[in-house]
Amino acid sequence: MRILRPNLRTLMAGGLIASIGALAACDRTDARLDRARDLADAALEQVNGDPQTPDRPTIETVPVEARAFSGAVMAETIYERQVLPSRFAVGSIIAKPLELEIEETSVPTLAEPMIAEPPVLELDPEAPESDSEVAARTAPVIESLESIEIQPQSNQFLGETASSSVVAEEASEPEQRAERIAERREALKASRRAIPTPKSIVSQTDARSRMLDTMSKYGLSGSVELSTSGQMVIQIGEDGADPTQGILTDGPDRMARPPAPRMAAAIPSLPQMAWNTGEDCPMDISPDTVRSDPIMATNCVVAELRQSGAFAYVEKDFIFDHQFARRPEGPIVTGIASPNDPLYDLQWHFRSNGSGAGQSAGGAGFADFWSRQASQGSGEVVVAVVDTGLQMSHPDIANSANVAPGWDMVSDPRTGNDGDGRDPDANDPGDLCDPSDPLQSDSFHGTHVAGTVGAAATNNGSGVAGGAWNVTIVPVRALGRCGGRLSDINDGIRWAGGLIPAFDENGDEVWNDNPADIINLSIGLFEFCPASMQDAIDSVTERGVLVVSAAGNDRVSTQFYAPGGCNNVISVAASDARGNMTPYSNYGAEVDVLAPGGDLTRDDDNDGRPDGVLSTKSAANCVDPVTNESVAGCFYAYEQGTSMAAPHVSAALALLKAKFPEKTAGELEDLLLGSLDPRSPTQCSGSCEIYPGSPIEGADGLCNRPCGGGLLNLANISGDE
């Protein structure tokens, strides 16, 4: 796991606040610059405690739809540990074959990346191929590549080509600058393409033969999808698992499972999912038993392929969840105060860290960075949000210049909830799992996360501000109804990093025109890091992409969670408005940083509102903060979770990348982690009954929960780093 870096807090240098008018590395038009200047001036007034200027919108002066929000202080509740096993998609398996040794003369070289659409190989157990038939079928593929030369892939950090030239380009015409940015991104995109080699082609073909033999052994049919990354997805059955079968239910001879949530067999439009209880494939099991039990068929195919020794990894296609913390049950405290400030003033998490007016003890210092560093970000910096997608019609997003084209990676239309599979539409149609459950609703999780990073248009006279005012957000939809498949998430990570193409309805390649500098993963799975996910993460980080992950919300050690417990990620735990770790947050040696995640049960600033994180998303049961009247629907909501903490770190890294474009990914990470505010043991503690661990001396009944190097505070970044 990640080795935590020592906390080397950097003190801010004194001096006058720099002019907000000069925006470093800004690539927007004059109108965009004016908009950024206005909000920067407003932020500066907030920091200095100056009175508001007449042209700064207040809550009273904006329309109801621009100020209403969802969320009220919840009754204080004891968080109980309720960790459920992970889920997996029945009949879906991820595998990566070991590369075979082949003759050197048969290795082709490519002058240009030539990547065809990954083929889908249909497996018919009634007609297995012989080794000679496999060799005959693959020979033309190998021969067709023999006359081409390979160019070595660039291992350069994304953005290193734009060091000192960024400042020089500042005086260029916007059109010329945009053209140069496009050329640079195209070069970076080309350098990141994963080129399929004959080794990988032969390895996948050999693996396909082994899969066919295994399927034939049990009389199963299905398909295998090949990919340029080497990852193969096996689907047992004509269309994966039978969607009409029970979901998360117990069979008559099945090991007892935890109680199923309210997504049951009454929802025939969902793919089958099952609890991962650690069941294996009995040695004496009959083919008839395997064929009659899709869960056992999945277990047996996984077990047999692992035993073959021909694969780097074989694992179930796990289902990931977003990391909104489950809200505790209890009565809502009514009587919300009537604030007279813009919605930005409700975002305590962006404030200066402190106890004075306009400050918050849990503030992450964004206001200090915006003003003192004379930088609110740059459109050259790209943050990909791999999540539930983005509400493109949201009023604070529809007009935002910060949102770039994304991709819908949800492969199963039943989970996708939009009538189709993968396509260029990253819009979030909703992820409601069980419509019959009145306690469930669409989360619009990705919209909330992306809004915190900077997808929301800032200084537009309505709604909320984002952490990075100027940034390019690429939405990658990988979670749909009831969660998202590991195989889709893996492809989403690689596509976001510009490593693999997606394919449109005509089978043509579609590359990410904005390869990510930072990838935000506010998702979670209660499992050790799956090998295929680690493979996907490694493939982007070795090319200079920073991967930021939520630590998880189940109050357990992050080592048991993915992707928060994976290597090569910045793992983020959640803090409240006091700067203390929240009760729901995961913890442990794998955590790197503590950042605002919010706590809906607290109101430590006594403003009558919950200390959650306020961001963009459609919500119900809202309130107009001016009249205190109920509003049926709104576009902003308070939420809590390590999902909310991670985008604060992604936004912070985006600001640092814009301010210090010459720094490598590793240097930016070191700069961030070296500037944290240290936390005392009691600030990262919890009841020893819930969090077994090291008792804290002098704090009766409290045990320490390691929460990383400290609390995110951008005020500790000096301008000469």
- Active-site residues, by number, are 387, 445, 643
Long-range contacts at 418-426 (CB < 8 A, ≥ 24 apart)? 418/480, 422/502, 422/503, 423/504, 423/505, 424/502, 424/504, 424/510, 426/389, 426/390, 426/392, 426/475, 426/476, 426/477
Strands (E), 506-624: 509-510, 518-521, 523-524, 546-550, 570-575, 593-596, 613-623
CB 489 within 8 A of CB 319: no
**How far is 583 from 326, CA to CA, in rounded Å?**
11
Render 71-116 in DSSP notation, one character per residue: --PBPP-PPP--PPPPEEEEEEEEEEEPPPP--GGG--B-SS---P
Helices 294-307 & 198-218 angle (0-180, nearest 10): 130
Rounded to whole angstroms, the Cα distance separating 601 from 639 reads 11
Cα 241–chain centre separation = 27
d(CA 47, CA 40): 11
Measured CA to CA in angstroms, residue 503 lies from 119, 411, 630 at distances of 12, 12, 45
As beta bridge partners, residue 82 has none
CA distance 356 to 525: 39
Residues in CB range of 584: below 8 A, 6 or more apart: 79, 325, 326, 553, 554, 555, 574, 640, 641
Q: How far is residue 139's CA from residue 620's CA, in Å, rounded to a whole number?
A: 59
591 CB-contact burial (10 Å; exposed 0-12 / middle 13-18 / buried 19+) = buried
Tell me the three state secondary structure of residue 7. coil
> CB-based burial of residue 432 (10 Å sphere; 0-12 exposed, 13-18 middle, 19+ buried)?
middle
Sheet strands (E) in 267-406: 273-275, 311-322, 352-353, 359-360, 377-387
Q: Could you give the CA distance from residue 335 to residue 329 in angstroms, rounded to a whole number?
A: 19
The residues with which 316 forms a beta bridge, in sequence order, are 93
> How far are the Cα atoms of 133, 589, 601, 684, 707 from residue 704, in angstroms, in the given order?
62, 12, 21, 6, 9
For 502, the token pair is: 């997606």
Q: What is the 3-state secondary structure (H, E, C) of 308-332?
A: CCCEEEEEEEEEEEECCCCCCCCCE
Q: Tell me, rounded to whole angstroms, the distance of Cα 322 from its chain centroid.
A: 9
C-alpha 198/C-alpha 210 separation (Å) is: 18
The phi, psi pair for 211, rounded to 5°, reads -60, -40
* DSSP run (H or E) holding 656: helix 642-659
Residues with Cβ within 8 Å of 678's Cβ and at least 6 positions away in sequence, in order, are 7, 9, 709, 710
Backbone φ and ψ of 666, nearest 5°: -65, -40
Rounded-to-integer distance, Cα 235 and Cα 257, Å: 24
Q: Strands 87-97 and 232-236: what pairing? A: antiparallel
- Give the Cα separation of 316 and 88 in Å (integer): 6
Distance of CA 547 to the CA centre of its chain: 9
